[in-house]
Amino acid sequence: MKTILVPMPKNDSLIAQVRSLYYSLKGVGESEEVVFDLSKITWAHPLLLLPLSVSSIEKNKSIFNEKCGINGYLDCIQFPGGINNVSDFELWVQKYKNYIPVSILKREALEERGRLESQFLSLVYNSLQADFMGVRSGIYYPITELVSNVFDHSQSSQAYIFAQMYPKKNYLDICIVDGGRGLRKTYYEEKGLNLSHADAITEAMNGNSAKKQKDRGFGLHTSRNMVCQGLKGQFMLVTGNALLISDENSNRLFPLPGFNWSGVIIAYRIPKPSAEFDYTQYIE
Amino acid sequence: MNIFSKTINIDLSKDLAQVVSSRDLVVDLESKLAKLPNKKINLDFTNIIFVSRSAAHELILMQERLSEKFLKRKLVNFVNMNEDIKNLINHIAKANPEREVFRFNVKKVDTANFLK
């Protein structure tokens, strides 16, 4: 079985996290048995950790972290296994107070899923400690829309969510991942469109829903706008072999040669809000 | 007054959660409401703190579908919404499906620099 040493990100930036993720997964087959060795990791953010967690749960990969410098932190966030029910989530929060665990929303467990998502959102909002009018909606909107997209489009049986507030650095990282069919396959199967992964991202960000009904397709680009324009954050989306990096001033698409993520990885970072926020400006 | 004409109040936070997020949760709710004998249903949003745009859209569609049924038609009212949710529902209900084409300006970039 192949062992892959996960490279330590060069710095805290989201770009550094995705670069490390790229070199970890590059050339690895979808169901190839692989061990991810985290012994070089002394610090990691949700964008690196959550896809590795999903890989270990869904894609026949294992995690080796016995010599990892952040074992204590990984235990506190229930990495890589995650939590998938409300009662375990509540117990976890009681025990670990300020740590948000990797959370798994299961498609079929509708009521449990709804309540778990509510608890997760509440914990994320409370961790921010930014009690300004409208901030809660600004935090809840992108997460709920992006999770909804997993269950509307991906055909995945679960959505994975994780977040971490960094009080000393004054920003919040959020990551939402699925291991489903991805944007390209969705457009092909639903609309017969033969697109590259990069073009599928553009299609989705243009608001062209894979669903036939009118008045669909708002969730992704309005979430991106809310994060980047509204909350002055940075937004990333990975699907297949393509990566979108968005901020207030630009949207850039990068090819990721030799890399393939079958579903969608979305990660964004927002500075801690310091004023009221009107999320309705970003809803269409 | 028989049960068919009696209005039933459904506490949405008990049937769903305090945050109404995904469309399929609303679709599941619709199947439960369709089975009720009551013709008039109040969906009570008292303890709902947030509704996603997707779920709000699906709630409006659900309301329309249940009111347009030939047999077992139901009148569903949304009650006790907070201001944000009320504004969101009103906004979506007024939205024009023939909307402006949104153009996402994106630049394709060579990966070489990014991967260093």
**Does the distance separating the beta carbons of A137 and B50 come in below 8 Å?**
yes
Q: Is the ipTM of this complex over 0.90?
A: no
List the single residue in B16, B54, B105 with the smallest CB-CB distance to A145: B54
Q: What pLDDT score does B26 carry?
A: 94
Instruction: Name the closest residue on chain A to residue B25, using Cα atoms.
Output: A110
User: CA of A196, closest CA in chain B: separation in Å?
Assistant: 13
Interface of B with A in 68-97 (CB under 8 A): 84, 87-88, 91-92, 95, 97
Mind listing the pLDDT tens digit for each residue in B70-86? 778 899 999 999 998 99
Q: How far apart are CA B24 and CA B21, in angstroms?
A: 9
List the single residue in A19, A214, A250 with the smallest CB-CB distance to B97: A214
As given in the structure block, the two tokens for residue A33 are: 């048995």
Interface of A with B in 39-98 (CB under 8 A): none
- Quote the pTM value: 0.94
Whether B23 has its CB under 8 Å from any CB of chain A: the answer is yes
* Strand ranges inside B25-108, DSSP E: 40-44, 50-51, 75-79, 107-108
**Does the distance separating the beta carbons of B103 and A15 come in below 8 Å?**
no
Average pLDDT taken over every residue of chain A? 94
Q: A-chain residues within 8 Å CB-CB of B81? A: none
List the single residue in B52, B57, B98 with the smallest CB-CB distance to A141: B52
Average pLDDT taken over every residue of chain B? 87
Please state, in angstroms and as integers, the Cα–Cα distance from residue A227 to each residue in A11, A221, A232, B42, following that order: 22, 10, 6, 34
Whether residue B41 has pLDDT greater than 80: yes
Whether residue A65 has pLDDT greater than 90: no
Instruction: Report the candidate in A2, A101, A109 with the shortest Cα–Cα distance to residue A53.
Output: A101
Whether A110 has its CB under 8 Å from any CB of chain B: the answer is yes
Mind listing the pLDDT tens digit for each residue in A78-89? 999 999 999 999
Which helix H or strand E contains B15, and what residues bound it? helix B12-15
